[in-house]
Amino acid sequence: MPDNVPTTLLAELTHRCPLHCPYCSNPLELIRAEAELSTDDWKRVFSQARELGVLQLGLSGGEPLLRKDLEELAAHARQQGLYSTLVTSGLGLTRARAERLKEAGLEHIQISIQDSDPEIAERIAGVRSVRHKQAAAALVRELGFAFTINVVLHRANLDRIGEIIEMAAELGADRIELANTQYYGWGLQNRAALMPTREQVERSREIAEQAIQRYRGRMQITYVLPDYYEAYPKACYGGWGKVYLVVAPNGIVLPCHGATQITTLNFDNVRAHSLAWIWSESEAFRAYRGDTWMKEPCRSCPRKTVDFGGCRCQAFALTGDAANTDPVCTLTPLRRIIDDALHEPARPMNEFQYRYIADEPAAV
């Protein structure tokens, strides 16, 4: 793809969600319903995104089905030529809504599964959800959507990765995305209860690799390793401000869904600026684009064109300076922060801090 033309927009339509997963990728400070963008705002954003070069649109949240205008937004996205993915818990996907979404031209639905063990799945989600998800999966399959199951992996479910893959195949998924927890925001709060052991990671990697071969041609399997156990950091979307952008429910535009935790940056809003201006000119997008911001050891490192110094959000969250090397990298002395975390005593699941919007009732 050409330089600095975005391909992917993640639209966080709302932060409201019936689930309370302790690794949620939304920020700790969740945005309330009254601050959300209007239908017209979102339509304008999708049109501007397409003009800017965006091809892939994620209709995400929170739970995007809580937006009553979702069908209208999906239809508008399709009219622009965008390939849309609904990223949902499955809760709220009634037959009527699924049929309307199909009619609107939505192509791909991604349903989250917490575990193959129903009891643990509901403990992770913090709410009764397994039956709803099964019903939603059956609908998605029946109506002929492209269908992905996505699973966030951690210590409490990693040992059942084989069963989880089988379950996805039985539900008729075209794809399954198995991604280890990323430790930002809620995930970082709950890190000691979520972090798998090295043995779990090794074993699950073997099972995933075998399954990739076994299911080839029938179900596509992607497996994302936990970066804490890697020697080098992940290449976040090809680098900051390269191909990816996120619009939060209140209209602020982020280079990464975890970027609001970088408190030293100001993020511009689609209510005040065009997406094109924000993408190319705004302070936040320019801050870590390219490699001139890099310090050592990144600056002189041949890997800087491979992993781009890793994740800016992780660098900030763990070191307080977003321009530092991602501490996952074994070439930086900051790596001891990761090694210390890996040696932290594990905490039990019943100490999860569940995801809630402030002042909501706590988990029961």
Q: State which residue, 224 or 341, has the beta carbon closest to other proteins.
A: 224
- We find the least distance from the C-beta atom of residue 265 to other proteins, in angstroms, to be 27
d(CA 245, CA 237): 10
Cα–Cα distances in angstroms (integers) from residue 80 to residues 49, 53, 105, in the given order: 9, 11, 11
Binding piece for other proteins, criterion CB under 8 A, among 31-39, 81-89, 260-268, 314-322: 81-89
d(CA 279, CA 196): 37
Binding piece for other proteins, criterion CB under 8 A, among 153-161, 212-220, 254-262, 318-326: 212-220
Closest CA to 326 of 350, 308, 344: 308
Under the criterion CB under 8 A, does residue 85 sit at the interface with other proteins? yes
Q: State which residue, 110 or 200, has the beta carbon closest to other proteins.
A: 110
Under the criterion CB under 8 A, does residue 146 sit at the interface with other proteins? yes
Under the criterion CB under 8 A, does residue 174 sit at the interface with other proteins? yes
d(CA 78, CA 76): 5
Q: Which of 217, 302, 345, 361 binds other proteins (CB under 8 A)?
A: 217
Q: Alpha helix locations (H) across 25-88?
A: 39-52, 70-79
d(CA 214, CA 262): 42
Instruction: 204-208: list long-range contacts, CB under 8 Å, 24+ apart.
Output: 204/153, 204/158, 204/159, 204/161, 207/161, 207/162, 207/165, 208/161, 208/165, 208/178
Count of residues that bind other proteins according to CB under 8 A: 24
Under the criterion CB under 8 A, does residue 291 sit at the interface with other proteins? no
Q: Which of 148, 189, 190, 250 binds other proteins (CB under 8 A)?
A: 148
d(CA 216, CA 305): 31
- We find the least distance from the C-beta atom of residue 216 to other proteins, in angstroms, to be 8
Under the criterion CB under 8 A, does residue 88 sit at the interface with other proteins? no
Positions in 34-73 near other proteins (CB under 8 A): 50-53, 55-56
Q: State which residue, 179 or 331, has the beta carbon closest to other proteins.
A: 179
Q: Do residues 343 and 267 make contact, with C-beta atoms less than 8 angstroms apart?
A: no
Positions in 94-113 near other proteins (CB under 8 A): 107-108, 110
DSSP bridge partners of 189 = none
Contacts of 214 (CB under 8 A, 6+ apart): none
- We find the least distance from the C-beta atom of residue 153 to other proteins, in angstroms, to be 18
Q: State which residue, 49 or 65, has the beta carbon closest to other proteins.
A: 49
Q: Residue 175 region, left (φ>0) first, then alpha (ψ -120 to 50), else beta?
A: beta
- We find the least distance from the C-beta atom of residue 112 to other proteins, in angstroms, to be 15
Under the criterion CB under 8 A, does residue 182 sit at the interface with other proteins? no
Angle between helices 312-319 and 335-342 (to 10 degrees): 70
Q: State which residue, 5 or 342, has the beta carbon closest to other proteins.
A: 5
Q: State which residue, 31 or 176, has the beta carbon closest to other proteins.
A: 176
- We find the least distance from the C-beta atom of residue 198 to other proteins, in angstroms, to be 28
Q: The tokens of 123 are what?
A: 């403990």
Binding piece for other proteins, criterion CB under 8 A, among 112-120, 128-136, 172-180, 264-272: 172-180
d(CA 78, CA 61): 19
d(CA 43, CA 265): 26
Under the criterion CB under 8 A, does residue 361 sit at the interface with other proteins? no
Under the criterion CB under 8 A, does residue 337 sit at the interface with other proteins? no
Under the criterion CB under 8 A, does residue 5 sit at the interface with other proteins? yes
- We find the least distance from the C-beta atom of residue 87 to other proteins, in angstroms, to be 11
- We find the least distance from the C-beta atom of residue 208 to other proteins, in angstroms, to be 17
CA gyration radius, the chain:
20
Site of interaction with other proteins (CB under 8 A) = 1-2, 5, 7, 50-53, 55-56, 81, 83, 85, 107-108, 110, 146, 148, 174-175, 177, 216-217, 220
